[in-house]
Amino acid sequence: MSQEKGPKVSIVVPVFNERATIEEILRRIQAVDLDKEIIVVDDGSTDGTKEILATLAARAASNPLRLQREELRASDVRVFFQERNQGKGAALRRGFREARGDIVIVQDADLEYNPQEYLGLIDPIERGVADVVYGSRFQGGPHRVLFFWHSVGNRLLTTISNIFSDLNLTDVWTCYKAFKRELLQGISLREDRFGFEPEVTAKIAKIRCRVYEVPISYEGRTYVEGKKITWKDGLSGIWCILRYSLFD
């Protein structure tokens, strides 16, 4: 007996304290005309996000047919909960394990990235020329003008990563990454926080994946608006580059 074919794309959404945006990002993802599943992993939220997601999951379980007609279709979303906050990398690992699609896309819950760009992101994989695709914020897409030193730090960290990976990426720390699922699930990932970005980059470089970049838009937010990454994550990123390029 043949197994039922899964969706073409799995969208993995790690979430921590995003009460103000979680429902809107799910609506935006659902609006994309694509055969997909949405996997949300709540990473121990304490601001009410967990309760919103728990309600959504309960509604889907109680009446999936009726909810297909609602603006936010609970039946399209699979929700998983971490017992405590462990970090973005840990939430992603959980989501990757649950993914059933041919392609896996990472989506933050903070509205900085536009789900309407999924089709461009997966195009190189669908054409058979790429195993992994990065969405670059520095290749010409429209973006909100924010912090100069953040952009300097991002480019510096990307350059250091490129030195050790021998890739010519322009944006290693981008959220938007698309992977062939079987490739991603075959990589052993360890980092719990934002170290996921340099770790996965080092490891796909080591196994000589075919990597593409595509331009994406970016609507960044300030720390007042909820941005979480800090300079400490930048220092950790350098250690991760060295660890996974030279020692792991």
Name residue 41's beta-bridge partners.
Answer: 14, 80
CA atoms of 20 and 48, how far apart (whole Å): 9
pLDDT tens digits along 112-150:
999 999 999 999 999 999 999 999 998 876 666 556 767
Q: What is the pLDDT of residues 18-75, one digit of tens each?
A: 999 999 999 999 999 999 999 999 999 999 999 999 999 888 777 655 544 456 776 6
Amino acid 139: pLDDT: 84
User: CATH classification of 9-247, choosing from 3.90.550.10, 3.30.2130.10, 3.50.50.60, 3.30.1360.40?
Assistant: 3.90.550.10
| Strand bridging mode 103-106 / 177-180 | antiparallel
Q: Which 8-state DSSP code applies to residue 218?
A: B
Write out pLDDT tens, residues 209-234: 999 999 999 886 555 555 556 667 77
Tell me the domain boundaries of the chain.
Answer: 9-247
Q: Take residue 149 and report the two structure tokens written for it.
A: 């030193």
Each residue's pLDDT tens digit, 142-160: 666 556 767 787 889 999 9
Could you report the per-residue pLDDT of 172-195, keeping only the tens digit for each?
999 999 999 999 999 999 999 889
Q: Are 136 and 213 in contact (CB under 8 A)?
A: yes
Structure tokens at 244: 């996974």
Predicted local distance difference test score (pLDDT) of residue 177: 98
Q: Give the separation between CA 20 and CA 225, rounded to whole angstroms.
A: 10
**pLDDT (0 to 100) of residue 222:** 59
